[in-house]
A and B are shown apart, each in its own frame.
Chain A
């Protein structure tokens, strides 16, 4: 499995940001493809496999391994309006959505152009 873990560097710089949602957005804009996940979540595993299968190298933030993970999780829940915050995908800093949105966009052919535009995929 080849994807970058959230670096300590980025954590330090966004430490001062108190609002968890802002932190989320900050983290999301740092890489082309950003996935917020929980290490024990199987659906998160599925979404990771999906991107890796496409040849994409996503940046994964495991919220259960982040000290402020709980707050971010709640913020994401509010953002998405669902009971489960993860997995959630940002491409090019913009919110794509959780698993069903990602799947739908992949099937209807909009995901690949999005990835290409963000520079995560080139072929």
Chain B
């Protein structure tokens, strides 16, 4: 049976409803109108008999009030009831139920005062009212009662009716009912209340936790966005879990600023070309662009000493740029390739110059690559330990100290070799810088302006490609953790798109 106590905790239940239901079921006081289901649906009328204090309590506290206190108030009024009734009551009661009012007698349905309390227990009434009521999760509810209990209740009602006066005093009636409640009932009711209270506290704590987590999350998002804008976490990959050296962090920050400058320079070039400025003015812009590149090479030169691996792994680049990474940056021959897109704009002299530049940059790249390969071989040879090196001729490890000393020696040698990486990155940057300057020398001012603009936009598009790749629709990637990332990436895409439209 779904007990009416469920309905007691129902939030939406107003007093009017109780009144309505009570009046609908108005019957004579001397007898039950029948033990049909309709009566059984009127447990709320039971509460009509409750005296004023209790009713006031109900009125004050509203729909979700604490029935426990109400119960106590009722109990304390003092109740008398026949022993027979008591006995019958107790035998009928099922064990370990948590109903509030396990056996309010049926007769109390007859009275027609509105109240919001019910104590009726029966299998039929409970199930009927189940559909009307909303259940509060915190109310412990017992939904079943043995059928014979209803029978006993009716017996009880009949007995009680005999001894009950007419509408003189509901208090007396209630008092009689209340004697049914012993310490066991009270205890159960108290437990019920306690459980309800604990539930409410738990819910409150959980909600508080959720709120604080939400605040923390928004703060993290802000920090991340700030870091991204400063160029600390370029690209999707970002830094590897925050373990970024100070040199690397500094470089990333400066590189971020450099990228912003790059945009400025490019728009200067663009507007300069479109406005058909004089050669003198354009030369200034072009030379400024060159020195802008000199700045980044200088910065990389400084960073090579502090954190060469950061440059070589290219974590300061976007993922697409990283694909084409060569010794901590772009390939110088790539610049020539970008130039070649505008072959018809060059004179024969210039074409010869460009071709020889193409050849020399390729040769230099090849030479450096082979040197680096040699470094790899040499380093791996040093690190590769010969398991037999510490063994004597008879196969027994002769001296443990020697083994350790060999290890340390090997490591020291490997360290020295690894430091050569710095030299290679420096030479590669040197090559990049020299190539850019040579392009400037070969071409006229206007051609140089167009070429530099083309170069700038090439890498801009490569960076945009990384962003688009990161935000491409993927089936698996639903989830809130990628949503904020997507937002900032999309902002980046929007800025780059504006560049495309200008050109």
Neighbour of B364 across the interface among A45, A103, A109, A112, CB < 8 A:
A103
A35 to chain B, nearest CB (A): 13
* Chain A residues whose CB sits within 8 angstroms of the CB of B438 once the complex forms: 107-109
CA distance A37 to B420 in the complex (A): 15
Q: Which of A41, A49, A107 has the most CB of B within 10 A?
A: A107
With contacts A109-B360, A109-B438 taken as known, whether A46 is within 8 angstroms of B431 at the C-beta atoms is no
Interface residues of A in 15-46 (CB under 8 A from B): 40-43, 45-46
A104 at the interface (CB under 8 A from B): yes
Is A107 in contact with B370, judged by CB distance below 8 angstroms? Answer: no
Q: Are B367 and A50 in contact (CB under 8 A)?
A: yes
* CA–CA, A108 and B434, complex, Å: 7
Are B420 and A106 closer than 8 Å at their CB atoms? no
Stretch at the interface among B1-9, B147-155, B403-411, B422-430: B422-430
In the bound complex, do residue B363 and residue A42 qualify as a contact, i.e. CB atoms below 8 Å apart?
Answer: no
Interface residue count for A (Cβ, 8 Å)? 22
A51's nearest neighbour on chain B, judged by CB, is B367
The residue of chain B having its C-beta at the shortest distance from the C-beta of A44 within the complex is: B371
Q: In the complex, which residues of chain B have a beta carbon less than 8 angstroms from the beta carbon of A41?
A: 420
Q: Specify which of B371, B372, B424, B431 lies most central, judged by the most chain A CB atoms within 10 Å of its CB.
A: B371
Cβ A99 vs Cβ B427 within 8 A: yes
Contact of B371 among A42, A84, A108, A111 (CB under 8 A): A42
Residues of B within 8 A of A46 (CB): 367-368, 370-372, 374, 424, 427
In the complex, residue of chain B having the shortest beta-carbon distance to the beta carbon of A104:
B434
Q: How many residues of B contact A (CB 8 A)?
A: 30
A49 to B370, CA, bound (A): 7
Contacts of B367 in A (CB 8 A): 46-47, 49-50, 53
- The reply to whether B371 and A43 contact each other, CB–CB distance below 8 Å, is yes
A54 at the B interface (CB under 8 A) = yes
Contact with A along B348-379 (1 / 0, CB 8 A): 00000100110011011011101110110010
A1→B380 CA distance, assembly (Å): 22
B430-A104 in contact (CB<8A): yes
8 Å CB interface, B364-402 against A? 364, 366-368, 370-372, 374-375, 378
A109 to B363, CA, bound (A): 13
B residues 324-354 touching A (CB-CB < 8 Å):
332, 353
Q: Does B125 contact A (CB under 8 A)?
A: no
Q: Complex: how many Å from CA A33 to CA B372?
A: 23
CA distance A41 to B374 in the complex (A): 9
Which of these, B356, B366, B420, contacts A49 with CB under 8 Å?
A: B366
Given contacts A43-B371, A45-B371, contact A100 B363 (CB under 8 A): no
Residue of B nearest to A87 (CB): B371
Check if B441 is an interface residue, CB within 8 A of chain A.
Answer: yes
Say if the beta carbon of B451 comes within 8 Å of chain A. Answer: no
Bound: A81/B363 CA distance, A:
27
With a cutoff of 8 Å between Cβ atoms, the chain B residues found around residue A53 in the complex are 363, 366-367
Contacting pair B371 A107 (CB below 8 A): no
Inter-chain CA distance A79–B353, complex, in Å, is: 33
Residues of B within 8 A of A84 (CB): 423
A49 to B369, CA, bound (A): 10
Q: Are B357 and A107 in contact (CB under 8 A)?
A: yes
Residues of A within 8 A of B (CB): 40-43, 45-47, 49-50, 53-54, 84, 99-100, 103-104, 106-109, 111-112
Q: Can you add 4 more A-B contacts, CB < 8 Å, to A41-B420, A49-B366?
A: A42-B424, A43-B424, A108-B441, A109-B357
**15 contacts across the A-B interface (CB closer than 8 A):** A42-B378, A43-B427, A45-B371, A46-B371, A49-B371, A50-B366, A53-B367, A99-B423, A103-B364, A103-B431, A107-B360, A107-B361, A107-B438, A108-B437, A109-B353
**Lowest 6 CB-CB distances: which A-B pairs, in order?**
A46-B371, A50-B367, A107-B434, A42-B375, A45-B374, A49-B370
